[in-house]
Structure 1
Amino acid sequence: MLIALWILNALLALAFLAAGAMKAIRPKEALAGAGMAWTEDFSSPSVKLIGAAEVVGAFGLILPLATGIAPILSPIAAAALTVVMIAAAVVHVRRGESAVPAIVLAGLSAVSTVLGLIVLS
């Protein structure tokens, strides 16, 4: 089970790190031009905050398990990312866009939460 948790968290961390860094670094207009039309509904600082939350969540999935320092923080990070992705799915559905990527990431983050709690208990 620990190996499954590591594999899942590594994949999730890569996805959230890439997506979050892009949102945190690129200007809002560049994101909108790249197909992220949802950014029109949010201020530039809000988009940066979402990106920062995803980057911090990515590190939260890996670092506590890797260092052994407060490993319970990994499932907490996964739960927080689940909430972020549920909110993203809601935004996409309200805009009439495809919410499939957000739903998949929310589901995988929820699985990571449960798996992390099982492994750490």
Structure 2
Amino acid sequence: MSTITGGRTLRANPLRRLLVRPELGAVIGSVAVWIFFAIVAGGYGFVSTLGTSSYLSVSAELAIQAVPVALLMIGGEFDLSVGSTVGATGMMIAILTAQYGWSVWAAIVAAL
């Protein structure tokens, strides 16, 4: 029995292996946008605690909506009804709490 060891394996540069990963592009893009706005709007409170909590709060709401849509798109589906569903859910919560006197949490559960 003999072993063949004539094959060559190429070792890729660790930086090159990182750069071919698609999620790294999103991270680099996010960091670049943050640095841009930190330079441009840093004096207006962008990098303060209040400013950071403000844009992270908005981005959390958008991420809650974007994750299911991204999963559908990865699966090959295309769903345009997300915007109307968000609006209808908000209106249902508002009507249940204001008109019918429901608690906010009960209205959220009913709207989902």
TM-score (norm 1): 0.26
Greater C-alpha Rg: 2
Of structures 1 and 2, the one scoring higher in RCO (CA 8 A, sep 6+) is 1
